[in-house]
Chains A and B, each alone.
Chain A
Amino acid sequence: MGKLIAYRLLFAVPQLLVIAVLVFSLTYLVPGSPAAAMLGSAATPESIAQVEAQLGLDQPAPERFVDWIGGLLTGDLGTSFRSGVPVADLLAQHVPATLSVVAGGMLVALVLGVGAGVWTGTRPGTMTDRVVTGGTVLGLAVPEFWLGLLLTSLFAVQLGWVPIVAWTPLTDDPLGWLRGIALPSITLGVTGGAMIARQARAAVVTSMAASYADTLTAAGVSRGTLVVRYGVKNALVPVLASAGVTLAILIGVSFVVEKVFSLPGLGSIMLSGVIAQDFPVVQGVVMVTAVLVIAVNLLLDICYGLINPQARPQ
């Protein structure tokens, strides 16, 4: 197991490095000068030169890259061009909300998805299967932000069960935090759950149709044992294998959904960063997201190794 962890850690390094290079080179992809793009119509040659100096664009690329990476490692992600606030501070303020709803969403997704997948996969072709599987197709089709909107109007506006603007940091008030992330978590969980349910169902159907299901049944193992002990574990294999991708998708979706719930997450700073072409902020958000996904993937890979023996390096 230690070997697996070391191996995955080792792979995370080049992965992060490649992403860092890509993120760094963003500013070079802007047609013309990024400084001009940032300044928009207000640009004068002097102000452009000033901004270029501020961004370090007047220096050679390799030198800038080394500086930038050095900054990354020491937690210095530059300064927002628009607000003048250090990007690291911005991120620190906005990561908790994103992390909270994504974690909540992933949890809801796993419970819903694996539950529905095992439930339907063990009774393929029945009415229950058709209804629930139809539900997952619908779940994938519903735009998440619209679902969020509907949930808000119902539970916050009409019923008043949760406040409309609800974000409370966990450290301030755990119960308030939970109430605040409930609706966004459910919103994300429906999408994620629908994705997971499809994979889990397919895996359960395959595993229940495999020879070993017949071998064990013929040898006297009850269907209940077969479903609970063999179906579920086999279903978890593809779910965990792609949970990293599911997570990345949920983070992306959370950027949209948080607007509905007025959450102070990474999406809000990303959005203003994109509109203002505030590259230090955009780069910071991309970098922190990548680190987040890679870190969680590392954990998931270890879980995957626990479940699927063949994934462990020999």
Chain B
Amino acid sequence: MDNGCFSSPRRDFPAGLRVLVVDDDPTWLKILEKMLKKCNYEVTTCCLARHALNLLRERKDGYDIVISDVNMPDMDGFKLLEHVGLEMDLPVIMMSVDGETSRVMKGVQHGACDYLLKPIRMKELRNIWQHVYRKRIHEAKEFESFESFESIHLMTNGSELSDEGNLFAVEDVTSTKKRKDADNKHDDKECMDPSSTKKARVVWSVDLHQKFVKAVNQIGFDKVGPKKILDLMNVPWLTRENVASHLQKYRLYLIRIQKENDRRSSSSGMKHSDFPSKDLGSFGFQNPVNKQQNDVSIDSYNYSDGSLQLQNVENKSHEGDKGTVSQFTIAKKGRPLRESSRVGLQQPFDCSMPTQYSWTEVPHTQLKEEHKSLVHLEDSFNQMPLQGKQHPIQVDQSQSVASISSVPSIREEGVAACIEAKPLFSDFKNDQSSSVNSIGNAVDTFPIQPGSLVMNAQSLASSTTNSGLKAHGYNNLSCISDLEIYQRNLLLGASAPLDEDLHFHWLQGECYNMNFGLQNIGMPEYYDPGLIAEAPSHLYDSSDYSVMDQGLFIA
């Protein structure tokens, strides 16, 4: 056949295009096969939609494009189209003798890349490679954006090394600070780049992605399909293709995250008694939001250096500070959702993950007694229904926070709030929707939480600004919803993990808030199934997930 008519960068490309033709009409099947062969395409024919689906499933990479009749006895062509779009994400061309606008529309809505009317002409088939080619271009673009996120990810890992070093070498702090700033800038750039290079494409904004995730959760991840998501999302200008492509990315991310989780959990399982491994501790340190944050972390370093032997504890307080500080910053600047702050905020819970691991291993800490005087939290911790024996560690932590500066008080408060909320899951769940709606309200809801802990914390937070408090309260509330799920995963008897958990929640809630605006209702459920099964690694899931989300916003 005349390949010359194809203007393709690859010499051979349209030739050998692997086409699967599905039509219950044997006559058309034979004609199409002949036509496609004349185009130098590699043709597989199939007279049953179900059979076609099996073929596609058996060889997921065995075909480049599918041509399917609309009316088939065993399965509606639209249904097949949906399956193909969902499971293989191949371009699908629909064909029918009917040119009714509504049917063509339906085909396009279901994600058909083309709709051909019978009798189909050779010249129409000769051109179908363009759909494959177009898709490849898209994928290449997506890959680029993946790459950039990957690099953020790696950078995070890399920088953690130096940060970890800092834990024990306080004198290096200034250099680290510089490095952190550099990282920060770099991150910003990375985040901006992909979006700016793809102006024409759908920008998955915070809200949009949130709708997407919500829809996915609602449908259930196993049954999810672009069409269903699109319907649930109810965004008129969004096409099924947009959703399909987003879903594909989402899946890829999940797969990769799963792999990483497997890797990490196995490695950490082997050396759990060690310090948090580099993977683990790393994320938290790397993305300082600003100098203020760095300063605070230095404080906490000092503190931990001096008094605590446990690396995790240091980590923990550091995270906490960081989270708080970034929060502050945001509140001050009055621009909650800047990219840079998002990056900064997301990192902290990466950190909390490793810590949790070690917590379970950690022997009770020694510092408990000292802190009693400083912080009144201890009593409250004892009151907590689920707490076991290890409260000293928690106290240490809160203590460390308190001792550092005014900022930590907020964190403490966060811890307190989360703890208190625990027995009251259902209540808070209810509250959440309303309180999430307005930050101002969040503060009001604080007193509702029983126990004196909150109050103590607040009184300790003498230097905390109002705005910080507000934002914080808001976060706490959202944390609560997360808490419910995560708590299931945790060893409830042990207080140390619990404490860790609380921190994590807090940070996570914060992140959700930042990332998803005011409605983060759907998010927690997403982790639910896998996480419960593997409690230790679930935090990774979430931390990685935050990174992922970021990627999705931009891609």
Q: Are A and B interaction partners?
A: no
B residues engaging A (CB < 8 A)? none
